Chain A
Amino acid sequence: MKANSTYVRPMGAWWRRNAFYRSYMVREASALFVTLYAVVLLIGLLRLAQGPAAYDAWRASLATPASIAFHVVVLLLVAYHAWTWIAVMPKTMPFVRIGGRRISDRTIVAFGAAASIVAQLACLALLAWLGWTR
């Protein structure tokens, strides 16, 4: 007995069909790089707990060209991931009203992007201050 004789549209590699699908897939796939980065940090934490020799070996592996290249890719995709998160904020945030008027989508995205840039530069400045003066 045939279980299903109706036509089933083939969905293999459907994301290659148009640019919107491709950008959707890149956005979703960028979550993989957030996960991988968490795993890198978890391994570093394990190495730290194991003592100086293990930790220094982990640090040496971070300085290899392969690791730098990997982190450049992770940086690009995490940055893209961050941007998509901010760009979708007008849809994911509750409505904010000031003086009876809804804040426009563009204002929300601009505010989110500004907050992200300020937070990251402040983080870099703090680390540079700690690193170079302490």
Chain B
Amino acid sequence: MKRSNKPIFWSLFGAGGTLAALLGPMLVFVTGIAVPLGFLLPRDLMDYERMLAFARNGFGKLAIVAVIALFLFHGLHRLYHCLHDFGIHVGPVLKAAFHGCAIAGTLVAIALVTAIGFAR
């Protein structure tokens, strides 16, 4: 029997869901509301120098790629399954499209944190 790829996508979906449940709302609040408004946190928390230093740090790179990749895999996997609820019949093409977007986003994120370089 051909091996199913389901466990891989389900694991990434599950990891993304857990990360979103543990930190998602606070991340949205910090990057989208608190820092842009200077509410509770200073505006310069996300200035260019600080974010560049964060993205040049090995842990920072891992954190950035983990959040982007897992949120993409989580959200797109669930939206893919949601298509059925809207009466759209899914097949290998749509499955490849949804999971392919998550894979592409992950590769772009990895390429970008690599291009940003490493701390000396």
Q: Taking the complex as formed, is B94 at the interface, i.e. its CB lies under 8 A from any CB of chain A?
A: no
**Out of B20, B31, B52, B109, which one reaches A85, CB within 8 Å?**
B20
Chain B contacts for A25, CB-based, 8 A = 85
* In the complex, residue of chain B having the shortest beta-carbon distance to the beta carbon of A54: B48
Q: Which size bracket describes the interface of B in this complex? A: 35 or more
In the bound assembly, the distance between CA atoms of A62 and B36 in angstroms comes to: 6
- Consensus secondary structure, chain B interface: helix
Q: Please tell me if the beta carbons of A49 and B116 are within 8 angstroms of each other in the complex.
A: yes
Q: Taking the complex as formed, is A46 at the interface, i.e. its CB lies under 8 A from any CB of chain B?
A: yes
Q: Taking the complex as formed, is B40 at the interface, i.e. its CB lies under 8 A from any CB of chain A?
A: yes
B18-53: contact bitstring with A at CB < 8 Å (1 yes, 0 no)? 101111111111111101110011101111100110
Chain B contacts for A55, CB-based, 8 A = 48, 51
Chain A contacts for B82, CB-based, 8 A = 28-29, 31
Known: A34-B24, A35-B79, A38-B68. A72 touches B33 (CB 8 A): yes
A37-61: contact bitstring with B at CB < 8 Å (1 yes, 0 no)? 1111110111011001001100100
A-B pair count, CB < 8 Å, reads: 161
Q: Please tell me if the beta carbons of A79 and B79 are within 8 angstroms of each other in the complex.
A: no
* Residues of A participating in the B interface, judged by any CB pair closer than 8 Å: 11-12, 15, 25, 28-29, 31-42, 44-46, 48-49, 52, 55-56, 59, 62-63, 67-68, 70-72, 74-75, 78-79, 81-83, 85-86, 92, 112, 115-116, 119-121, 123-124, 127-128, 130-132
* Residues of B participating in the A interface, judged by any CB pair closer than 8 Å: 14, 16-18, 20-33, 35-37, 40-42, 44-48, 51-52, 55, 64, 67-68, 71-72, 74-76, 78-79, 81-82, 85, 87, 105, 108-109, 112-113, 115-116
Known: A42-B72, A120-B25. 17 other contacts (CB 8 A): A31-B74, A34-B16, A34-B71, A36-B75, A37-B28, A37-B71, A40-B32, A48-B48, A48-B55, A59-B36, A62-B31, A67-B32, A75-B28, A75-B33, A85-B18, A123-B30, A130-B45
